[in-house]
Amino acid sequence: MHKRWQEVAFTLLWSALGAAAAPAPASVHASAVHRTARDANARSIVAPIGLGVPLSAAQLAPYAITIFPDGRNLPPGQGSVAQGAPLFQLHCAGCHGATGIEGPAARLAGSDGFVGWNDPLRVLRIMKHPLLVQSVGARWPYATTIFDYVRRAMPYHAPKSLQDDEVYAITAHLLHRMGVVQAGAVMNATTLPQVIMPARGHSVSAWPNSP
């Protein structure tokens, strides 16, 4: 009886091994090939998530306001040093001081250093706020990006509230306070990129190969 069960077990094992070694039917092989191709094709196609909607050019326009160092994307309009003086007093002097050096916000004009002959309290402010050791006019490499920053972020309590002509005028006034343009200067999309800032030669672009 025991021998009989051994024979049955051996027969079943041999049958199983034979079935595993036998080639798969053509229908099974075709199904596997189809499934592999289907999976590969699915991986090659990125299915849409279904979130959000495409934005129109008009919707993107308010955010496409970057002004590049070479002046690309500067808007139409213009403003003079004389026009910028009262605008500076209205929108900027409350934080930067009447002449742009009194603070308490960042010093806009003047030379680098701890001591300024026309600013006797400068050293005290620098001790409290070390970043004030440099002025915007002394470390900013491009006049065009001053326009960008003023239009994008100023005045502090109401950013993007200034019209382009006002930004040109304030930029012209700042450049005059920095000593890089004359009192009669007018800034626009043509003249602003021509202004050479004192720090341009001391600055290195993080993206030297960018257009």
Q: Where do the structural domains in the chain lie, given as residue ranges?
A: 65-200
Rounded Cα gap, residues 141 and 196, in angstroms:
8
User: How would residue 124 be classed by pLDDT, with cut points 50, 70 and 90?
Assistant: confident
Averaged pLDDT score across all residues of the chain: 80
On whether the CB atoms of residues 158 and 97 are closer than 8 A, the answer is: no
Specify the amino acid at residue 171.
Answer: T
**87 contacts: CB under 8 Å, gap ≥ 6:** 166, 169, 170, 173
More confident residue, 88 or 204: 88
Rounded Cα gap, residues 185 and 178, in angstroms:
13
User: How would residue 33 be classed by pLDDT, with cut points 50, 70 and 90?
Assistant: very low
Specify the amino acid at residue 107.
Answer: R
The yes-or-no verdict on residue 206 having pLDDT over 80 is: no
| pLDDT at site 118 | 63
| pLDDT at site 12 | 54
> Could you give the C-alpha distances from 115 to 122, 128, 137, 190, 198, in angstroms and in order?
6, 14, 16, 36, 19
User: How would residue 177 be classed by pLDDT, with cut points 50, 70 and 90?
Assistant: very high
Give alpha helix (H) positions in the chain.
2-21, 26-44, 57-60, 81-91, 93-96, 122-128, 136-139, 143-153, 164-177
| pLDDT at site 200 | 87
3-state SS track over 56-83: CHHHHHHHCCCCCCCCCCCCCCEEEHHH
More confident residue, 10 or 128: 128
| pLDDT at site 15 | 57
| pLDDT at site 10 | 55
Rounded Cα gap, residues 206 and 204, in angstroms:
6
Mean pLDDT throughout 59-79? 94
| pLDDT at site 104 | 84
User: How would residue 36 be classed by pLDDT, with cut points 50, 70 and 90?
Assistant: low
Domain 65-200: CATH class, spelled out: mainly alpha
Mean pLDDT throughout 178-188? 96
pLDDT tens, position by position, 144-174: 999 999 999 999 999 999 999 999 999 999 9
For 170, counting Cβ atoms within 10 Å of its Cβ (0-12 exposed, 13-18 middle, 19+ buried), the class is buried
Rounded Cα gap, residues 132 and 105, in angstroms:
9
On whether the CB atoms of residues 99 and 177 are closer than 8 A, the answer is: yes
Predicted TM-score (pTM) of the model is: 0.67
